[in-house]
């Protein structure tokens, strides 16, 4: 059922099946209730209301089965409702649901930290701490870096995304929809150029790192910088894979200047890119690494992992939160991590890449709007332009997205200009559904450009 190893992910029939229009009448009725009950500020991309999911399928309230090319934004990497995760959660939830680790602890939290310390890059001594969301992990990584360095400045990148809390909004590059009218933002956040090979007019990675480093030295002063926070592959910014040498150049600069180098692997981590962590591709060992999303198959859990001397520099009681490292979320994480290890999840991600890339390259020959194909593993995207120019084509991205949705494929767009079409299938995606999703994308292009 899956790509290679057949880790039967679910008893849901693995086929795309449309019984009604999308969204169907039951979903439409639920959406009307949503509008009446849920803040308008909480957007919904595709209002099909899900009742079951697994393998490569999302099933909605009207009985439609859609192909899931989004994994809930890179979360259900081991397959939605993965049976191992379900069993672990059920066992834990029947034993106890919560104690608060800071009050009376439990083994699951410690075991997740042990797994994070073992799996993240580098064989130095490490410590971890657990939280509820990616944004919270970033907040805490910055707290730790400031406590350790006794400095304040935080350096982030153009096109970076780190969350929606006040600090992480300030660290996020894009205004709409994340920041508009929500300021003022936290101080001491500085943005420097990222490496964006498609739009950098031939500037190589090391050269772009020099540009960013010069900016840090001139405008902030290296000795004032607590942390540099970088996504090894930028997610919400448009699946931007930096040119080789950029990421390493920034990490080396941090090391030379006593700056804590933080890899935000919240989207790219946990086997998504064909490695356990995307920073392994350039052989970079970050001081701290933030994780969330794929760690626990959708149960809310996030982590900060890093050098023991940095993580232990915080005073006792300085880190925490009522729910951080909730026992049910920890049980899910341990089952998800075990599944990834047993099924060689990085290889499954690479196999998805090997199926998608040739199909996308073929489409690019036919449709000149596809100006760049990039990403790694099961984190792949195409950037769309107005043919013959470099102008972002967000209208086409929206049109393709609509076509795919109406034809039962859940796709996502991304990017600073909204012109990047991204693919984040679960690693349990059966090959025939992956191929079918690509065929529907092909048809979407045909119709949009007819
Ligand atoms: N860092 C690299 O990708 C979350 C955002 C969806 P939270 N990305 C999806 C949305 O529109 O809110 C993300 C990320 C990276 C941090 C985060 C934040 O993680 O769990 O959403 O707080």
Helices 431-448 + 394-406 axis angle, to 10: 130
Residue with tokens 């057949």, as numbered in its chain: 6
* Pair of tokens at residue 315: 């005073």
From residue 291, how far is each of 116, 117, 335 by CA, in Å?
A: 9, 12, 16
Distance CA 422, CA 441 (A): 12
The pLDDT score that the predictor gives to residue 11 is: 80
Any ligand 1 atom below 6 A from CB of 161? yes
Which residues have C-beta within 8 Å of that of residue 405, sequence separation ≥ 6? 22, 46, 411
CA of 120 to the centre of ligand 1 (A): 20
Residue 264 beta carbon below 6 angstroms from any ligand 1 atom: yes
Give CA–CA dist 402/409, Å, rounded.
9
204 and 297 fall within a common domain: yes
- Quick count: other Cβ atoms within 10 Å of Cβ 207? 15
| Residue 184 preceded by cis peptide, ω within 30 | yes
Coil, strand, or helix at residue 349? helix
Domain count for the chain, please give it.
Answer: 2
429 and 311 share one domain: no
- The structure tokens 């009448």 sit at 25
Tell me which residues of the chain have a pLDDT lower than 70: 1-10
Q: Alpha carbon of 174 to those of 76, 216, 415: distances in Å?
A: 25, 21, 9
Co-location of 92 and 51 in the same domain: no
Q: Is 72 in the pocket of ligand 1 (CB under 6 A)?
A: no
Q: How far is Cα of residue 40 from the mean position of the Cα atoms in its chain?
A: 24
Tens-digit pLDDT profile for residues 413-444: 999 999 999 999 999 999 999 999 999 999 99
Please state the φ and ψ torsions of residue 341, each to the nearest 5 degrees: -70, -45
Region of 159 please: left (phi>0), alpha (psi -120 to 50) or beta: left
SS3 445: helix
> How much distance in Å is there from the Cα of 243 to the middle of ligand 1?
23
Name the domain boundary from 321, 342, 363.
342
Q: Are residues 275 and 421 in the same domain?
A: no
Residue 319 DSSP code: S
Residues 152 and 252 in one domain: yes
Ligand 1 site, residue 84, Cβ cutoff 6 A: no
Task: Please state the atom number of ligand 1 nearest to the C-alpha of residue 264.
Answer: 2
Q: Is 231 near ligand 1, meaning CB less than 6 Å away?
A: yes
Ligand 1: residue of 135, 270, 303 to mutate (most ligand atoms within 8 A of CB) is 135
Judgement on whether residues 14 and 127 belong to the same structural domain of the protein: no
CATH number, domain containing residue 32 = 3.90.1150.10
End-of-domain residue from the set 323, 342, 361 = 342
Q: Which atom of ligand 1 is nearest to the CA of 236?
A: 3
Position 337 scores a pLDDT of: 98
pLDDT at site 399: 97
Q: Is the CB of 290 under 6 A from ligand 1?
A: no
Range of the domain at 24: 3-78+345-448
150 lies in the same domain as 286: yes
Quick one: 317 and 372 in the same domain? no
User: Within this chain, do residues 36 and 89 fall inside the same structural domain, yes or no?
Assistant: no
Q: Are 217 and 350 in contact (CB under 8 A)?
A: no
Does residue 180 sit in the same domain as residue 317?
yes
Q: How far apart (Å, rounded) are the C-alpha atoms in residues 416 and 327?
A: 37
Which atom from ligand 1 is nearest to the alpha carbon of 163?
18
- Name the domain boundary from 342, 371, 404: 342
- Indicate whether 354 and 334 sit together in one domain: no
Give yes or no for residue 266 CB within 6 A of ligand 1: yes
For residue 133, which of 340, 324, 412 has the smallest C-alpha distance? 324
Residue 292 alpha carbon to ligand 1 centre in Å? 9
> Are residues 329 and 390 part of one domain?
no
On the CB side of 168, CA atoms within 13 Å amount to 19
CB atoms within 10 A of CB 9: 29
CATH of the domain at 328: 3.40.640.10
Interval between CA 193 and ligand 1 midpoint (Å):
21
């Amino acid at each position: 059922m899956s790509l290679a190893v057949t880790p039967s992910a679910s008893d849901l029939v693995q086929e795309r099946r449309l019984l009604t229009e999308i969204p169907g009448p039951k979903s439409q009725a639920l959406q009307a209730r949503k509008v009446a009950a849920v803040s308008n500020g909480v957007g919904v991309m595709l209002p099909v209301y899900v009742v079951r999911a697994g393998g490569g399928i999302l099933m909605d309230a009207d009985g439609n089965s859609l192909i899931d090319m989004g994994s809930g934004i890179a979360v259900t990497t081991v397959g939605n409702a993965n049976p191992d995760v379900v069993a672990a959660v059920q066992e834990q939830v029947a034993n106890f649901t919560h104690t608060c680790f800071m009050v009376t602890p439990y083994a699951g939290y410690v075991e997740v930290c042990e797994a994070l310390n073992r799996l993240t890059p580098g064989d130095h001594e490490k410590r971890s701490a657990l939280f509820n969301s990616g944004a919270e992990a970033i907040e805490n990584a910055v707290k730790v870096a400031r406590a350790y360095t006794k400095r304040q400045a935080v350096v982030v990148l153009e096109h970076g995304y780190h969350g929606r809390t006040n600090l992480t909004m300030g660290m996020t590059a894009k205004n709409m929809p994340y920041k508009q009218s929500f300021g003022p933002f936290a101080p001491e956040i500085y943005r420097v150029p990222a490496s964006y090979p498609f739009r950098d007019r031939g500037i190589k990675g090391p050269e772009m790192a020099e540009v960013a480093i010069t900016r840090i030295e001139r405008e902030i002063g290296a000795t004032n910088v607590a942390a540099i926070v970088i996504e090894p592959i930028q997610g919400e910014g448009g699946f931007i894979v930096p040119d080789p040498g950029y990421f390493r150049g920034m990490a080396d600069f941090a090391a030379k200047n006593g700056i804590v180098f933080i890899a935000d692997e919240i989207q790219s981590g946990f086997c998504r890119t064909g490695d356990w962590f995307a920073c392994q591709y350039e052989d970079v060992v970050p001081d701290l690494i933030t994780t969330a999303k794929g760690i626990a198959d959708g149960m809310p859990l996030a982590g900060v992992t890093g050098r023991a001397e940095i993580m232990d520099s915080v005073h006792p009681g300085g880190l925490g939160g009522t729910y951080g490292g909730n026992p049910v979320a920890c049980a899910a994480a341990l089952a998800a991590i075990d599944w990834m290890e047993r099924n060689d999840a990085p290889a499954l991600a690479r196999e998805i890449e090997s199926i998608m890339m040739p199909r996308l390259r073929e489409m690019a020959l036919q449709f000149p709007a596809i100006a760049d194909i990039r990403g790694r593993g099961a984190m792949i995207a195409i950037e769309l332009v107005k043919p013959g120019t470099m102008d972002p084509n967000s209208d086409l991205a929206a049109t393709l997205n609509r076509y795919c949705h109406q034809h039962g494929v859940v796709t996502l767009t991304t990017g600073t200009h909204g012109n990047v079409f991204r693919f984040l299938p679960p690693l349990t995606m059966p090959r025939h559904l992956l191929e079918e999703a690509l065929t529907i994308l092909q048809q979407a292009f045909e119709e949009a450009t007819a």
